[in-house]
Amino acid sequence: MRLFIAINFDGQTKEKILAVQDRLREQGQGKFTRRENLHLTLAFLGEVPPGRVEAIHRAMDHTAISPLSLTFDHTGRFRQEGGDLWWLGLGENEALTALQQELAGHLSTEGFPLESRPFAPHITLARQVRLTGFPCPKELLGEPFSTQIHAISLMHSQQIGGRLTYTELHRRG
C-alpha cells in the first residue's frame, strides 16, 4: 500500500486553491491536480505492508492536534525535465512545523524511515507544466488566503480506473 499522511482541506479552501490553479492553467498546459486530490503532505511513507498500518495509526494518535491557521502566500516551481512542478506555498508557520516534527518522531519510534530533506510545506497544483510565458507570481496567487486545520489523515494512493486516487484510511483530530 502506498501511503502518506496529509492535511486535507474543506471545500471553501479547495475553491481558493483551484482559483490559483486556474490562473496557472491559463498560462500553459500540464497535468493539473484534481480537486479531490488537493492536500498538504506531512509525511510520505511510500510502500507499506498492510500489517504495518496499525503502527501508523498509533503514531498519528499520539500526535497532538490543535487547531492551527495556515496562510498561503506564494507560488513556486520545481524545475524538472519534461515540465515543471508548480506549487502553492505557505508563510512561515512554527505550529505546522512542530506538528510535522512531532508526527515524524512518533513515526520514527514505530520504525518508519522518513525523508531526510527539510520539511517544505506546499500544495502541488500541477506537474509536467509547460508555460507559454512566465506568470507574475503575485498575479498567479491573487490575494493570500488562510484556512483553519483541525485534523490530519492517513491517505492511500492508488490508481483506480486509470486515475490517481487518494482514499482516507484514518483521521486524527
Antiparallel, parallel or unpaired: β 39-47 and 2-8: antiparallel
What percent of the chain shows pLDDT beyond 90?
83
Number of separate domains in the chain: 1
Q: What's the chain's average pLDDT?
A: 94
pLDDT at 160: 92
pTM of the prediction? 0.93
50-53: long-range contacts, CB 8 A cutoff, minimum separation 24: 50/1, 52/112, 53/1, 53/3, 53/154, 53/169, 53/170
Indicate whether 112 pLDDT > 80. Answer: yes
Identify whether the C-beta of residue 115 lies closer than 8 Å to the C-beta of residue 9. Answer: no
Whole-angstrom distance, CA of residue 91 vs CA of residue 126:
20
CATH of the domain at 149: 3.90.1140.10
Indicate whether 162 pLDDT > 80. Answer: yes
pLDDT at 139: 80
Whole-angstrom distance, CA of residue 35 vs CA of residue 166:
11
Residue type at 82 in one-letter notation: G
pLDDT at 146: 96
Q: For residue 75, what pLDDT band results from cuts at 50, 70 and 90? A: very high
Domain that holds residue 120: 2-172
Q: Which of 17, 2, 1, 3 is nearest to 147 (CA)?
A: 17
Q: For residue 99, what pLDDT band results from cuts at 50, 70 and 90? A: very high
Indicate whether 166 pLDDT > 90. Answer: yes
